[in-house]
Amino acid sequence: MTEPAISESLATARRRLTDALAEAGRPVADARLLAVSKTKPAAMIREAWHLGQRDFGENYVQEALDKQAVLADLEGIAWHFIGPLQSNKTREVAEHFAWVHSVDRVKIARRLNDQRPAALEPLDICLQVNISAEASKSGVSLAELPTLAEAILDMPRLRLRGLMAIPAPAQGRTAQRAPMARLREALEELRKRFPDAPLDTLSMGMSDDLEAAVLEGATLVRLGTAIFGARQRHD
Ligand SMILES: *Cc1c(COP(=O)(O)O)cnc(C)c1O
């Protein structure tokens, strides 16, 4: 089966983002799309790149490295690692990604810091917060967040940019917004506590809750299905 062209779905996703920013009274440059390309072929990423998309999110290290090798000619592409990260995979991630959104413990952060090649910019980091406790086992708790943030701010090869969450699926804007408001407040508190840190990123919102996320201040919205269509493999 051939994959459908994505020009329409990408245009629709961009319109959703622009409309949501307008509804929130936020400037149009305030948030951007992270195209989540896990399980999707390199050809679709190339197509999205030709349409101007630059940020791509991947969840599985080996799959991502395979696609990066094929797409090495795409200038300005930024790879974001957004999946669960085990210690034995940190080196590849430190060497081949610009961002990691799923850091939730010091041990992983320290390895990324130690393994980030000197020739590259510091690795941009979002801390994954377990914002609706029942939803997942990953993510730092709100109580432990400041301690983790402080430790990472001491790591010179990492740049702490903000917070990421995967809230439990919810129906309706009000229910979707509640955990996102908690994440926004957590970022505001971190900013007060660490005023010199470059904390400018709220990574939240997916295909089903983009609008709620933008209303609560999301700056990076992670869209998979809405851009690339339903996934067949993995999840
Ligand atoms: C798969 C995934 C997404 C994209 O989800 P969609 O519902 O397909 O938009 C976003 N964030 C993370 C962390 C993911 O694993």
Cβ proximity of 142 and 175 under 8 Å: no
Could you tell me which of 205, 198, 203 has the C-alpha nearest to residue 227? Answer: 205
pLDDT of residue 16: 98
On whether residue 213 sits in a domain, the answer given is yes
On whether residue 188 sits in a domain, the answer given is yes
The sign of the CA dihedral 182, 187, 188, 194 is positive
Q: Is 165 in the pocket of ligand 1 (CB under 6 A)?
A: no
What is the whole-number distance in angstroms between the Cα of residue 195 and the centre of ligand 1? 30
On whether residue 182 sits in a domain, the answer given is yes
On whether residue 45 sits in a domain, the answer given is yes
On whether residue 47 sits in a domain, the answer given is yes
Instruction: Please state whether beta strands 55-58 and 78-81 pair in parallel, antiparallel, or not at all (unpaired).
Output: parallel
On whether residue 28 sits in a domain, the answer given is yes
Residue 116 belongs to domain spanning: 6-228
Q: Is 36 in the pocket of ligand 1 (CB under 6 A)?
A: yes
For the CA of 207, the nearest atom of ligand 1: 9
- Map 97-151 to HEC letters: CCEEEEECCHHHHHHHHHHCCCCCCCEEEEEEECCCCCCCCCCECCCCHHHHHHH
Q: Give the span between the Cα atoms of 38 and 33, in whole angstroms.
A: 15
On whether residue 233 sits in a domain, the answer given is no
Instruction: For residue 108, count other CB atoms closer than 10 A to its CB.
Output: 20
CA dihedral 109, 111, 114, 115 (to 10 degrees): -110
On whether residue 235 sits in a domain, the answer given is no
pLDDT of residue 232: 82
Q: Is 223 in the pocket of ligand 1 (CB under 6 A)?
A: yes
Overall average pLDDT of the 152-176 stretch: 96
Q: Is 206 in the pocket of ligand 1 (CB under 6 A)?
A: yes
pLDDT of residue 134: 64
Q: What percentage of the chain has pLDDT greater than the value 90?
A: 93
Q: pLDDT tens digits, residue range 10-37?
A: 999 999 999 999 999 999 999 999 999 9
Q: Which of 222, 228, 232, 234 to mutate to test the pocket of ligand 1 (most atoms within 8 A of CB)?
A: 222
The predicted model scores a pTM of 0.96
Q: pLDDT tens digits, residue range 173-191?
A: 999 999 999 999 999 999 9
Q: Is 174 exposed, middle or buried (0-12, 13-18, 19+ CB in 10 A)?
A: exposed
Overall average pLDDT of the 199-205 stretch: 98
- Residue 194, H or E segment: none
CATH of the domain at 13: 3.20.20.10
| Domain total of the chain | 1
Q: Is 225 in the pocket of ligand 1 (CB under 6 A)?
A: yes
Band of the pLDDT at 127, cuts 50, 70, 90?
A: very high
